[in-house]
Amino acid sequence: GAGVSQTPSNKVTEKGKYVELRCDPISGHTALYWYRQSLGQGPEFLIYFQGTGAADDSGLPNDRFFAVRPEGSVSTLKIQRTERGDSAVYLCASSHYAGGPEAFFGQGTRLTVV
């Protein structure tokens, strides 16, 4: 594809439900990042993958959040027992390699927990 693709673009879910957010990075990019952006804030780092492995998950807020990238391409961010405070725009980015010249961002998934 032409760029990083995220689906769905919008997701409304009830408190306590489980959600999955998908990221399809630019082909050939080995590094993939997830960020969360709350209203009025800048993007906040969640987790980073190099290939299939999570190289740094220090930004995940708690164990309700989990992410996978089983084949080193598409990644899924999973949130269990969603809370209203999880409402935010979840951004995915990819780059050729860790610390590469440019991270390309997707358009984001707006998650609303009601």
Partner 1 sequence: AQRVTQPEKLLSVFKGAPVELKCNYSYSGSPELFWYVQYSRQRLQLLLRHISRESIKGFTADLNKGETSFHLKKPFAQEEDSAMYYCALSALAPGANNLFFGTGTRLTVIP
Task: Point out which residues bind partner 1 (CB under 8 A).
Answer: 3-4, 31, 33, 35, 40-45, 48, 50, 55-56, 59, 91, 98-99, 101-108
Angle 91-10-24 from CA coordinates, rounded to 5°:
45
Token pair recorded at residue 71: 């084949």
DSSP β-bridge partners for residue 105 = 93
> For partner 1, which is the closer residue by CB, 19 or 47?
47
Count of CB atoms within 10 A of residue 83's CB? 12
Q: Are 86 and 111 in contact (CB under 8 A)?
A: yes
> For partner 1, which is the closer residue by CB, 91 or 113?
91
In whole angstroms, how close is the CB of 47 to partner 1 at the nearest point? Answer: 9
> For partner 1, which is the closer residue by CB, 82 or 93?
93
In whole angstroms, how close is the CB of 59 to partner 1 at the nearest point? Answer: 7
